Structure 1
Amino acid sequence: MVLPSGFTVPPLPALAVLLVGVLVAAFALARERPPLTDRTVLSFAPWMALGSAAYVCHQLRLLPAAVTPFASAPAVYGSTFVVAVAVWLGARRTDSPKRVLAGVGLLALSVPVALAVRYGTAHDSLAPLWPLFALLMAVFLGSVCWVGLRRLRLADARTVDGAGALVIFGHALDAATTAVGVDVLGFGEQTPLSRLVMEFAAGLPTAPVLGVGWLFIVVKLVVAVAVVVLLADYVREAPTEGFLLLALVAAVGLGPGAHNLLLFTVATP
């Protein structure tokens, strides 16, 4: 099994509604075929975090009963996809589609974040220090990797541009928050593949000093940079499809990273 624990299938009526929504959204995209650029990928960044923030609220049982089935994992990612596509297609009818897409995403993201912070305040479990440290570490590590990529593979970095930077930052955030969560805060790692890396690190002589999360950070960053380099040629040949893949890779990192960041801020293990 390679999926994280905690994944559940929503009740059949909710599942049917969600599947219909996903199919309709996919059909609308296929019919309109909107171009995808690096700036569009960046505009989707708040939406990548939105699903994870909503899932945190689901874990903390803060959502109305009617919304709960659509905020469980992995249903929340389908729900976010449907809403994001609807907003994107609607934003394309405006004079500033990317700004509208990003702006609506930020407004939507603020709702579950506010709910989670209010929960942390009410339960006296608000602890932003270590999550902030993880965020700063992600910014630093992501910046180092991006600067290194621009120096060693400038043509590739220019090709992927902001979308490639988002991929690296997203996976740096996932890696940094996971390492802090496991080594400092006492949270367990739910993803089996990540757990294997940390179990291997636990057997190394460095474990008593550096913990087990450092190896996960190294692996995540190496893989993220390698994927960005590999996808640069694809972006040159087929920009829309290439940026779509970069968006998916970015979401796989930024989503879990945003989830960790918010959960660790408002809840204790």
Structure 2
Amino acid sequence: MGIILLADDQRDSRARLQGLLEGQGFSVIAASSLAMAVPLAKSDPPDLAFLNITRSREEGWTVCRDIRRFCPKAKILLWVEGGPTEDEITLGREAGADEVVPEVRSLVEVSRFLEAASAGHSLTCPECQSVFRLQQMPVPGSRVEAQCPECHFLIGVMSQGQEVVTLESPFNGRPKILVVEDTKFFRAYLTDLLVGAGFDVVTAQDGVEALEYLTGECPDLVITDVLMPRMHGFDLCRKIKDRPETASVPVIMMTQVYTRMQHEGEARGVQGADDYITKPFQPSDLLARIWRFLPHTL
């Protein structure tokens, strides 16, 4: 790993880290802001991008995605002073980062993070038994396809915490999920999360639109909000379960309003919901719940 792109808007920490890296023989391209990182990466693609996103997480995710798009083989490390939260680690990986780490203070930490980013995850192809590396960790709880470089066999791969598990069989198509959510922002958020986890996604703004879709299509699973205009989520769930052609489709209900135990009891016992989750939730929690209902898609 020779060229490192270092983006840090804090002068002292940038100079300290640049000195540590150059002292180890790396060629360092230093940027005084995240905004400078993308054009520098495009003009001189790095082997590794080291980005301080402490002061601007949102810009950090965007810059990470852009660098990943222009430099698909580069390793990307994001660091957050004080340490990243679980949500920030998840968002960083969704943006294409290999690692999201705490503040870097010593050469030992630099070496450890570089080693972690370079390691990848070894997989054994069940078809030809060759060993290769999965270059990017899947989002926790998600399942993705990895292709053997020798025989091109597709392998189902699942992330469980920091471990990567090879599934017994490759995917039989991409599971399709219908997302019913009246809030545009959250509908887009769920779509990005699920597509990134390996699903096909169709969306509806409310229960009426969802039922129109279900007259001609049958998804593998439905995720629906509870409080929506035109049709309450409980009513939508009941109608899905009452129709023979969709009765077996799992329905996960989500809500930020109906959070008491009696609400969940009604959703499950009266309306037929298969699961019930309150907002806000961890992305990995939602993905884990989804996969409990989709063993037939493997």
Report if TM-score (shorter chain) is over 0.5: no
Greater helix fraction, Structure 1 or Structure 2 = 1
Query: TM-score under structure 1 normalisation?
Result: 0.28
**Structure having the larger proportion of residues in strand:** 2
More RCO (CA 8 Å, sep 6+): 1
State the TM-score, normalizing by the size of structure 2: 0.26
